Amino acid sequence: MQSLIPVVLSGGSGTRLWPLSREKYPKQLLPLIGEDSLLQATVRRMEGLKDVQLGAPLVVCNEEYRFVIAEQLRLMGKKSSILLEPVGRNTAPALTLAALAALREGGDPVLLVMPADHVIVDTKSFQAAVHKGMTLAAEGEVVTFGIRPDSPETGYGYIQSGEPLDDEGACRIARFVEKPDLATAQAYVDAGFYFWNSGLFMLRASVWLSAIAFCRPDILAACRAAWEQGSIDGDFLRVSRDAFMQCPTDSIDYAVMERIAAGGSSLPASAVIPLSAGWSDVGAWDSLWEVLPKDHDGNVSQGDVMLHDCHDVLVMSEDRLVACVGVEDMVVVETPDAILVAHMSRTQDVKKIVDDLKHRGRPEGQLHRKVFRPWGWYDGVDSGERFQVKRIVVKPGAALSLQMHHHRAEHWIVVRGTAQVMRGDETYLVSENESTFIPLGTRHRLENPGCVPLEMIEVQSGSYLGEDDIVRFEDAYGRKEG
């Protein structure tokens, strides 16, 4: 029985879904549809796949997201490997690293390459398409999945189908086409033999390495050096930062697929399989509205929302009551620190707001008010001149780093659980309704020795309160900063 490894590519920042998606906590980590995050839903998509030797998922992600992704997979009870990219280099290097990792234990598995931030509503239809692609991929072909277009979409690349392979729509790939203008997209829809490029691929690990060696030997050389100089750290597969920094940036499509479609004796055969499974790349708020269930007026609402005489709106609330009256074709998204109001036809322009936030040096483009850390999370409740208040939750058995601050002192009040505090040369416990003080410049550490979450309020005071005022001496999570 042929083995199959799901490869989940968890890059990208999802800036068009701001303010829910942020650079430090992007859309694939959010539960936008159902209780699972998009990443979890992608991994879960393979559950129940029959007649295939299904291997543990291999997630390729930015090193910055490693602990959140590991925790989301842990909550699913999934055994997995997490391959860490020191810097983003697009999908071709990511898949090259994944192929090298997939071959480390011998064999030559088929890789099912899936972006972590896509939605597929009909899992059974998706698995049926995977079964069909498995046969071709096991024989050494490169398989992709095409979405039959129902509108002239200018935000997707297209695949032109060629010679039919069966009676169910599988075809050779004639060519890959860049994102078109509206008139060209309409012509593709009218022609009937073009698909949207889903970004889903199936192929053997060795086939990809041979293809990238022929098309982009520079990418393979850099990735191989980074892999061979890397290390294994528990569930994390680390590659050499210095070596990977030398890797060129390119996508799977540009680096390999376009050249495969053009043909050549040194390249594998390629095929596109039609996929009708409620696919969406959830690239902006209007595409999220498309896939979510609506009321009889075409409205989607989540959270504490009240609507009166509204039509075709998407309204989401995280923290407060949001009321809308007499609006149509609008998106309203509320978070504790930002509110977005946009016309449904202009959601692609949300990225311009994020770019402007970065240009102005404002944190709302990168961080949520609630920030996740490997030990738990904190929420910035209030701040002003020379003070800041945070709500901090530490997981059972977890500990913050041994650290000190040059510019701030801290007051800790325990609300629930028990804290073990190391302050200078002393170590002591702080119980519920008790507090302690950490003077400026003092080495300290906070731990949760109990079996329930530790919840506390931290009041910081000082001349500078930025997160970069942390000097770490020891850290169980290997962090140097942040």
Written as tens digits, the pLDDT of the chain (482 aa) is: 779 999 999 987 789 999 999 998 999 999 999 899 999 999 999 998 888 899 999 999 998 888 899 999 999 998 889 999 999 999 999 999 999 999 987 889 999 999 999 999 999 999 999 999 999 999 999 999 999 998 898 888 999 999 998 877 899 999 998 889 999 999 999 999 999 999 999 999 999 999 999 999 999 999 999 999 999 887 799 999 999 999 999 999 999 998 888 776 788 999 999 999 999 999 999 999 999 999 999 999 999 999 999 999 999 999 999 999 999 999 999 999 999 999 999 999 999 999 999 999 999 999 899 988 889 999 999 999 999 999 999 999 999 999 999 999 999 999 999 999 999 999 999 999 999 999 999 999 999 999 999 999 999 999 999 888 999 999 888 776 54
Kindly state the helix (H) or strand (E) to which residue 182 belongs, with its residue range. Answer: helix 182-191
Q: Where are the domains of the chain?
A: 3-280, 286-357, 370-474
Q: Which two tokens stand for residue 120?
A: 């597929």
Residues 6+ apart with CB under 8 A from 143: 133, 136, 137, 201, 202, 203, 270, 271, 272, 273
pLDDT at 316: 98
pLDDT at 482: 45
pLDDT at 262: 79
Q: Which two tokens stand for residue 269?
A: 């055969």
CA dist 29 and 39 (Å) reads: 6
Q: Please name the residue that has the structure tokens 């977005």.
A: 340
How many CB atoms within 10 Å of residue 386? 12
Q: Which two tokens stand for residue 73?
A: 């997979």
Q: Does domain 370-474 have CATH number 2.60.40.420?
A: no
Quick one: CATH architecture of 3-280? Answer: Alpha-Beta Complex (3.90)
CA dist 119 and 37 (Å) reads: 10
Q: Do 3-280 and 370-474 share a fold?
A: no
- Read off the pTM: 0.89
Q: Please name the residue that has the structure tokens 């902006």.
A: 284
3-state class (DSSP) for residue 162:
strand
Residues 6+ apart with CB under 8 A from 166: none
Cβ atoms of 346 and 287 closer than 8 Å: no
